Amino acid sequence: MATIQFFGGVGVIGSSKIVIEQDGWRVLLDFGLEFNPGGGLYRQGIVPRLSHALSDRLRTGDAPWLSHIYDPDLAKGVDELKVGNDHKTAVFITHAHLDHIGLTGYIDPHIPIWASPDTIEIMRAAREAGEAFEGHWPSLRPLEAEKPLNFGPFTVTRYDVDHDIIGASGYSVATNSGLVAFTGDIRLHGRHPEKSLGFAHKVEGCTALVIEGTTLSFGFKDPIRTEYEVDQDFSKILKNTPGLVLLTVYPRNLERIQAFIKIAQAHHRDILWSEPTAAFLQAMGLDVRAFSEELLPDITKNPDHYVLQLIPSDWPLMLDLPLGPGSVFVHANGAPLGAFDPLWPVLQDWLRYVHTSFWSIGTGGHASPDGLRELLEIIHPKVVFPLHSQEPDRLWPPPGTKRWLPERGRIYDLDSI
């Protein structure tokens, strides 16, 4: 008998943690932190104690109380939990966003953690660039797409899907109770819809599908913007803006960044990156230039030659920049992430103060409700579990598919489907 449990992503965006168990063997799909800007107990600079970080995460409910998962060297204050490797557990990561990988630093280093080669490369570059990570930096093993891996009684297969980060994956797990599929984070409006559709066709007719539902609570009224429309909007802004262009974009959205660099070059502008972003992009092999104060005189003299990427800690730099009605701040899904982010009104206050207009041109990494429906109609599982959503009950399955709303920690018997 195979079972499935959910220890994250239940009624929230992010923190996906799925456990599939059979005959004492376990496969974990993702091990992430909840995505909740400005919420939770750890906010406004409050972080877990360095010496008790795992204990703090467990006691506040951020990490699940699972035996034989965690590194004994990090288990101070959790004597009641069995830690260390049981040699019957493996972890598979869908992509390198913290809401899917953020707790892997607490996993016993002897437990195998598998991911796509691109995910491993992103994590390597992030570490090289000096990014912080809770626990220790995980040692990830590369798993090629569509190369089945046997682990105990399971056969696990990774598939490429499209998201707003390279290396995004979906998985299928073959059990003696049927095939379980997990979309990870997925979309159809990006640069590679064929990847997501290909995954859907490969797992068609599975016993159970775990599907993300991020956008179910967003209330879309207009068609979702494609990545190509984002590129076009960025090009139009550069063409029509006589002054300096400010930019925020998510550093790990490498395909968008590479597209923006080419677009800026076509408009005879050079993108200057914040030091942390430049360090990461350089570690990923991109030829980029970081902003430095030595460049301020030329930026002031020739603002139409530049695009300047800012992170929140850089915002006071606006006081020294040639800003005003001829300048614009372009939001392309960087920080702050949206109106729900506590830093959003702070940014708007800064832009009002420096008399600079604001344009939002981004598009998300998550399938629209229509996209989710299209994927569901292709896969047509026996049962669907909507996860990674604040309103999972808004997902309506096609005829012949049952919908089970996940409950945290509940054991679902796949034989009963």
Q: Exposed, middle or buried by CB within 10 Å (0-12, 13-18, 19+), for 165?
A: buried
Residue 340 has pLDDT above 90, yes or no: no
Final residue in a domain of this structure, among 345, 360, 375: 360
**Are 9 and 124 part of one and the same domain?**
yes
**Are 174 and 142 part of one and the same domain?**
yes
In which band, very low, low, confident or very high, does the pLDDT at 221 lie, cut at 50, 70 and 90?
low
**Are 268 and 369 part of one and the same domain?**
no
List pLDDT tens digits, range 148-189. 999 999 999 999 999 999 999 999 999 999 999 999 999 999
Here the CATH number for the domain that contains residue 26 is 3.60.15.10
Final residue in a domain of this structure, among 360, 387, 404: 360
Final residue in a domain of this structure, among 330, 360, 390: 360
Query: CB within 8 A of 1, min separation 6: which ones?
Result: 22, 176, 177, 413, 414, 415
> For the residues 12-16, what does the mean pLDDT come to?
92
Domains in the chain, number: 2
**Are 121 and 138 part of one and the same domain?**
yes
Here the CATH number for the domain that contains residue 277 is 3.40.50.10710
Helix (H, G, I), strand (E, B) or coil at 198: helix
pLDDT confidence of residue 376: 98
In which band, very low, low, confident or very high, does the pLDDT at 94 lie, cut at 50, 70 and 90?
very high
List pLDDT tens digits, range 256-312. 999 999 999 999 999 999 999 999 999 999 999 999 999 999 999 999 999 999 999
pLDDT confidence of residue 46: 85
**Are 205 and 237 part of one and the same domain?**
no
**Are 205 and 96 part of one and the same domain?**
yes
Residue 79 has pLDDT above 70, yes or no: yes
**Are 82 and 104 part of one and the same domain?**
yes
pLDDT confidence of residue 285: 98
Q: pTM above 0.85?
A: yes
Asked if 85 and 108 touch (Cβ cutoff 8 Å), the reply is yes
**Are 38 and 135 part of one and the same domain?**
yes
pLDDT confidence of residue 193: 98
**Are 180 and 87 part of one and the same domain?**
yes
Domain residues for the domain of 232 are: 227-360
**Are 69 and 51 part of one and the same domain?**
yes
Give strand pairing partners of 172: 157, 181
pLDDT confidence of residue 38: 65
In which band, very low, low, confident or very high, does the pLDDT at 50 lie, cut at 50, 70 and 90?
confident
Query: CB within 8 A of 416, min separation 6: which ones?
Result: none
List the 328-332 sheet strands across, edge first: 289-290, 270-273, 306-309, 245-249, 328-332, 357-360
In which band, very low, low, confident or very high, does the pLDDT at 43 lie, cut at 50, 70 and 90?
confident
Residue 222 has pLDDT above 80, yes or no: no
**Are 233 and 203 part of one and the same domain?**
no
pLDDT confidence of residue 16: 95
**Are 370 and 339 part of one and the same domain?**
no
Annotate 245-271 with DSSP letters as a single string.
EEEEE-TT-HHHHHHHHHHHHHTT-EE
List pLDDT tens digits, range 105-153. 999 999 999 999 999 999 999 999 999 999 999 989 999 999 999 999 9
In which band, very low, low, confident or very high, does the pLDDT at 40 lie, cut at 50, 70 and 90?
confident
